[in-house]
Structure 1
Amino acid sequence: MTVRDIVRFPDPRLKVPAAAVTAFGDDLAALVEDLADTMAAAPGIGITAPHIGVPQRVVVIRLSPAEPRRVFINPVITEASVDLARATEGSVSMPGVVETVERPARVTVRYQDAAGGVHSESHAGLMAVCLQHEIDQLDGRFWTERLSRLKRDRLVARYAKLRRAGS
């Protein structure tokens, strides 16, 4: 469909909680296609509607080109393990910088598909990390908020330097 412009950090729209999707139809299907195209062009493995300036609870994830894309509408974490895992994270809204983040190792997520059907799945590994990262974004919590102040300040400074060098 269309590759959309990505909202870049520190745009305040990234801190606004997204609204629940209530209409399942052609407009939602078009949004999902635009998200998938934008994520592939970024490139990235996960994207939310807020990343393209649409304040709705829509997530598209494709962990690798060999895997099908996954669509999660109105996702909510219903269970999270007490054991933690560390993974390297970044964002299509903050390209060029990554950092290690610690999150629950396993999560159960309730969500709707693009037709409105309700599902619940448990995940570990990269899918668990990605779901938590994107659901945080839907809740208006940018991934850098999971870092210590020192790591966050250093990361933001590196990102600012990259942006200055690119302009």
Structure 2
Amino acid sequence: MLDIYTLGEEVLREKAERISTFDNALAIFVDAMFETMEESDGIGLAAPQVGVPSRLFVVDTRKPGERMVFINPEIIETSQEQGAYEEGCLSIPGMYYDIVRPIKISVQAQDIKGKPFILHAEGMLARVIQHENDHLNGVLFIDRMEEAEREKLVASYNRRNKRRKKDN
């Protein structure tokens, strides 16, 4: 299992680099990402969250056909219609907030072998793709909150972690 980096780690705020080598090492890394995501009970995980500033994320919404790898993704279309839904993040454990995002998207990416594809997604899958894609640009879900709400959530997160460190 890989270590998940948490709020405050610099790599979470960096713009990730494109991947150009599609080899066995990449496949092993992707397997480790899926394992880490599943062990952490997540439905998406981006490479920067495990300390690797590369344009890659994995998704598994637990629905058939929705376990996927996105390499060098680009969201190429979003719907006008938006919806709010509670989001959390493995890099900000225990914190949740309703985030407004487009309900439908189209994403262009490459698979594990480097083959390009376009996917049209809606609902939970569209939301997870947008959330993970944000990570590749150094954006966290809390950045999509109003400033006062974000400050409250971050203060609560910091208090919780300070207590946790004290207990250990």
Separation in 2 of the partners of 1:14 and 1:6?
Answer: 10
Question: How far does residue 165 in structure 1 lie from its aligned partner after superposition?
Answer: 2.4
Separation in 2 of the partners of 1:6 and 1:49?
Answer: 10
Alignment pair present for 1:117 and 2:115: yes
Q: 1:141 aligns with which of 130, 139, 142?
A: 139
SS at match of 1:122: strand
SS at match of 1:163: helix
Indicate the residue corresponding to 1:103 in structure 2: 101
Question: How far does residue 10 in structure 1 lie from its aligned partner after superposition?
Answer: 1.5
Alignment pair present for 1:6 and 2:7: no
Separation in 2 of the partners of 1:111 and 1:10?
Answer: 28
**What TM-score, normalized to structure 2?**
0.94
**Which residue identity does 1:99 align to in structure 2?**
Y
Question: How far does residue 88 in structure 1 lie from its aligned partner after superposition?
Answer: 0.8
Q: 1:155 aligns with which of 146, 153, 157?
A: 153
RMSD: 1.3
Percent of paired sites with the same residue: 33
Alignment pair present for 1:36 and 2:34: yes
Separation in 2 of the partners of 1:153 and 1:68?
Answer: 34
Indicate the residue corresponding to 2:85 in structure 1: 87
Q: Which runs of 5+ in 2 are unaligned?
A: none
Separation in 2 of the partners of 1:108 and 1:66?
Answer: 19
**Which residue identity does 1:51 align to in structure 2?**
Q
The Cα offsets for residues 125-166 of structure 1, whole Å up to 9 and x where unpaired, read as: 000100000001101111110000011011101211221222
The Cα offsets for residues 94-149 of structure 1, whole Å up to 9 and x where unpaired, read as: 10110000011110000000001110011110001000000011011111100000
Alignment pair present for 1:127 and 2:125: yes
**What TM-score, normalized to structure 1?**
0.95
CA contact (8 A) 1:96 1:162 kept: no
Q: Structure 1 residues 153, 34: closer, same or farther in 2, change over 3 A?
A: same
The Cα offsets for residues 1-58 of structure 1, whole Å up to 9 and x where unpaired, read as: xx01111101121010100110001011011011011111212110011000001111
Indicate the residue corresponding to 2:22 in structure 1: 24
**Which residue identity does 2:51 align to in structure 1?**
G
